[in-house]
Amino acid sequence: MRFLTVLGARPQFVKAAPLSAALRKRGHEIIVHTGQHYDAGMSDVFFSELGIPHPDHNLGIGSGPQGAQTGQMLAAIEEVLVTERPDVVVVLGDTNSTLAGALAAAKLQIPVAHVEAGLRSFNRSMPEETNRVMTDHLSDWLFAPSGVSEKQLAAEGITRGVFVVGDIMLDAVNQQRARAEHTSHMPGALGLARGTYVLATIHRAENTNDRERLFAILTALEQLDQTVLLPLHPRTRDKLATFDLAIPARILAIDPVGYLDMLALLSSAACTVTDSGGVQKEAYYVGTPCVTLRNETEWVETIEAGWNVLCTPNASALKEAVARMISPRPAQIPLYGHGNTAEQIAEILCAA
């Protein structure tokens, strides 16, 4: 069986590591990298660290306005599909690369498999929400991480081809956590001790495209009692320059880190403050409480389990949320499967 996997952004590289291994045990995989994340710290390091095979096609699309970027990806992916003629196109998550891959395949009548289907924030102002809704309605196989996702698909009339398989990022965490503990020098290399800092990640458009909101987030982080470590996403770095905003002195900003260092930093943090869907889940898997700087989350199970809380970018609210989350947490329970998602996906696709 010929699989063609479309990748483009950091979270997709993490998910691709276990999935690629499972697919290649059963058939031939072609990897297409759109170039959505092209910074070495957001792309190359993940391929080398996680052992992801080198992309067969690197489209080099780069950044740009939402519509223009997606359109360029669509045209370029279509050319690859015409040449490669895979049996199935696999797309992951909710980025512009996800939607472009699904749309190009659907127009050529090539079946689409969507990994991480059925997630909904119900906030249509988020580009990711548009991407995930449209991708789900284009897909033939919909691999949902939880029963909640399955129900949300059913509410939109999607019931065929839906499989609850758990979260593929749990596969990645399980496979790489011990390695991270043994090979990463974080957080000691930064002069930080375990449990003494808050790990922050900020990158979503809703938090970075508005100057006042981004300033409010930085101000709130600066006023936390703990040291704040901020691996700086390229989008956030660019917006800081555009808005002429400086990172407060009490925030330790560093360049983006690879997956192993990120796992080590997350595992050792007292708490994480983030707007990333992936970090919300990874924090739960490694036992680190999470504060999400958004008005909603697709990963509602982490909220219900008591390990995640939504918070506005307000200094007093954030300080109170972090203090509350650092207090003892409930026992962890399996929320998104047991770490065998990639194998399930590969078996289902090959049985079709």
pLDDT, mean of residues 112-119 = 98
Percent of the chain residues topping a pLDDT of 90: 92
Q: Is the pLDDT of residue 38 over 70?
A: no
152, pLDDT greater than 90: yes
Q: CATH 3.40.50.2000 in the chain, residues?
A: 2-167+337-351, 175-326
Is residue 258 within 8 A of residue 350, CB to CB? The reply is no
**Looking at residue 40, what is its pLDDT?**
55
pLDDT reading at 39 higher than 70 = no
Task: Identify the pLDDT of residue 93.
Answer: 97
| CA distance linking residue 151 with residue 127, whole number of Å | 22
Predicted confidence (pLDDT) at residue 41 exceeds the cutoff of 70: no
- Output the pTM of the full model: 0.95
How much helix, strand and coil, in percent to the nearest 5, is found in the chain?
50, 15, 35
From CA 230, how far away is CA 201, in angstroms rounded?
A: 6
- Confidence bin at 280 (pLDDT 50/70/90): very high
- The pLDDT value recorded for residue 352 is 84
Examine the pLDDT at 37 and tell me if it is beyond 70. Answer: no
Hey, what CATH topology would domain 175-326 get? Rossmann fold (3.40.50)
Residue 99 reports pLDDT greater than 70 = yes
Tell me: the pLDDT tens digits for 228-271? 999 999 989 999 999 999 999 999 999 999 999 999 999 999 99
Question: Does residue 169 have a pLDDT over 80?
Answer: yes
Active site residues: 203
pLDDT, position 42? 56
Say how far apart CA 53 and CA 63 lie, in whole Å. 23
Burial class from Cβ neighbours inside 10 Å (0-12, 13-18, 19+) for residue 190 reads middle
Region 2-167+337-351: CATH code:
3.40.50.2000
Mean of the per-residue pLDDT values for the chain?
Answer: 95
pLDDT mean over 199-215:
95
For β-strands 227-231 and 141-144, DSSP reports them as unpaired
Mean pLDDT across 198-210: 95
